[in-house]
Chain A
Amino acid sequence: MAWQWFHRLGSPRWFYEKTGRWLVWFAPITIALLVIGFTWGLAFAPVDAKQGNSYRIIFIHMPAAVLSLAGYYLMAIAGGIGLIWKMKLPFMVMKSAAVIGVAFTALTLITGSLWGYPTWGTFWEWDARNIFMLILLFLYLSIVLLGQVYPEQEAADKVCAILALVGTVNVPIIYKSVDWWYSLHQPASIKFTGSSSIHPSMLYPLLLCIVAYYCFYTLSLILYTRQEILAREARTKWVAALVEPGTENRVKG
Chain B
Amino acid sequence: MTMPDARPPVAGAWRAVLARDLKLSWRQRSDLVNPLLFYLITITLLPLGVDPSRQLLGSIAPGMLWIMALLATLLSLDSLFRCDYEDGTLVQFQLSSEPLFLTVLGKITAYWLTTGLPLALVSPLLAVMLALPPSGYLALVLSLLLGTAIMALIGALGAALTVCLRAGGLILTLVVMPLYLPVLIIGANAVSSAVAGFGYGRELALLGAGLALALMVMPAAVAGALRVSANQ
A contacts, CB < 8 Å to B: 135, 138-139, 141-142, 145-146, 149-152, 155, 158-159, 162-163, 165-167, 169-170, 173-174, 176-178, 180-181, 184
Distance in angstroms between the alpha carbons of A27 and B131 in the assembled complex = 62
Contact status B161-A162, CB under 8 Å: yes
Contact for A162 among B174, B177, B224, CB less than 8 A: B224
* B181→A141 contact, CB < 8 A: no
| Chain B residues whose CB sits within 8 angstroms of the CB of A177 once the complex forms | 181-182, 185-186
- Mind listing 6 A-B residue pairs with CB under 8 Å? A135-B178, A138-B178, A139-B178, A149-B167, A155-B232, A165-B221
A181 to B162, CA, bound (A): 31
Inter-chain CA distance A169–B186, complex, in Å, is 17
List the B side residues contacting A150 at CB < 8 Å.
165, 232
> 12 extra interchain contacts, Cβ-Cβ under 8 A, other than A139-B178, A155-B229, A162-B224?
A142-B178, A152-B232, A158-B224, A159-B225, A159-B228, A162-B157, A162-B161, A163-B175, A170-B179, A173-B182, A173-B210, A177-B185
Q: Is the CB of B179 within 8 A of A166?
A: yes
CA distance A152 to B231 in the complex (A): 11
Q: Which of B161, B181, B217 contacts A146 (CB 8 A)?
A: B161
- What distance in Å separates the Cβ of B217 from its nearest Cβ neighbour in chain A? 6
**In this assembly, does B213 line the interface, its C-beta being within 8 Å of a C-beta of chain A?**
yes
Say whether A149 contacts B181, CB under 8 Å. Answer: no
What residues of chain A lie closer than 8 Å to B232, measured between beta carbons?
150-152, 155
Known contacts A162-B161, A162-B225, A181 near B179 by CB under 8 Å: no
Contact status B185-A149, CB under 8 Å: no
- Write the nearest CB–CB distance from A3 to chain B, whole angstroms: 24
Cα–Cα, bound, A146→B162 (Å)? 8
Interface residue from B162, B174, B182 paired with A141 (Cβ < 8 Å): B174
Nearest CB in chain B: distance from A207 CB, A: 31
B193-232 interface code vs A (CB 8 A; 1 in, 0 out):
0000000000000000010010001100100110011011
A184, B177: Cα distance in complex, Å: 22
- In the bound complex, do residue A135 and residue B181 qualify as a contact, i.e. CB atoms below 8 Å apart? yes
On whether the beta carbons of B157 and A166 are closer than 8 Å, the reply is: yes
List of A residues within 8 angstroms of B148 by Cβ:
none
Given the contacts A170-B182, A173-B182, A174-B182, A181 and B161 also touching, CB distance less than 8 Å: no
The residues of B that contact A173 with a CB separation of less than 8 Å are 182, 210
Could you tell me the distance in whole angstroms from the C-beta of B63 to the nearest C-beta in chain A?
A: 11
Cα–Cα, bound, A5→B189 (Å): 51
**B182 and A159 contact, CB distance less than 8 A:** no
CB atoms of B185 and A180 under 8 A apart: yes
Please, which residues of chain A bring their CB within 8 A of the CB of B179?
166-167, 170
Determine whether B33 belongs to the interface, using a CB cutoff of 8 Å to chain A. no
The 4 A-B residue pairs with the shortest CB-CB distance in the complex, in nearest-first order: A177-B182, A158-B228, A138-B178, A142-B175
CB-contact partner of A138 in B162, B165, B177, B231, under 8 A: B177
CB distance from B71 to the nearest CB of A (A): 16
Q: Are A181 and B178 closer than 8 Å at their CB atoms?
A: no
Q: Which residues of A contact B186 (CB under 8 A)?
A: 177
Residue B19 lies at the interface, judged by CB distance under 8 Å to chain A = no
Residues of B within 8 A of A149 (CB): 165, 167, 171
State which residues 168-192 of B face A: CB under 8 Å: 171, 174-175, 177-179, 181-182, 185-186, 189
Closest residue on chain B to residue A135 by CB atoms: B178
- Are A142 and B217 in touch, CB under 8 angstroms? no
Is B178 a contact of A159 with CB atoms below 8 Å? no
Determine the chain A residues whose CB is within 8 A of the CB of B231 once the complex forms: 155
Known: A149-B167, A151-B232, A155-B229. A163 touches B178 (CB 8 A): no
Please give, as numbers and ranges, the residues of chain A lying within 8 Å of B182 by CB-CB distance.
170, 173-174, 176-177
The interface residues of chain A lying within 8 Å CB-to-CB of B224 are 158, 162
Residue pair B171, A142 in contact (C-beta under 8 Å): yes
A174 touches B178 (CB 8 A): yes
* B185 and A181 contacting across the interface, CB-CB below 8 Å: yes
Q: Who on chain B is nearest to A181 by CB?
A: B185
A176 to B178, CA, bound (A): 14
Does the CB pair A155–B228 fall under 8 Å? yes
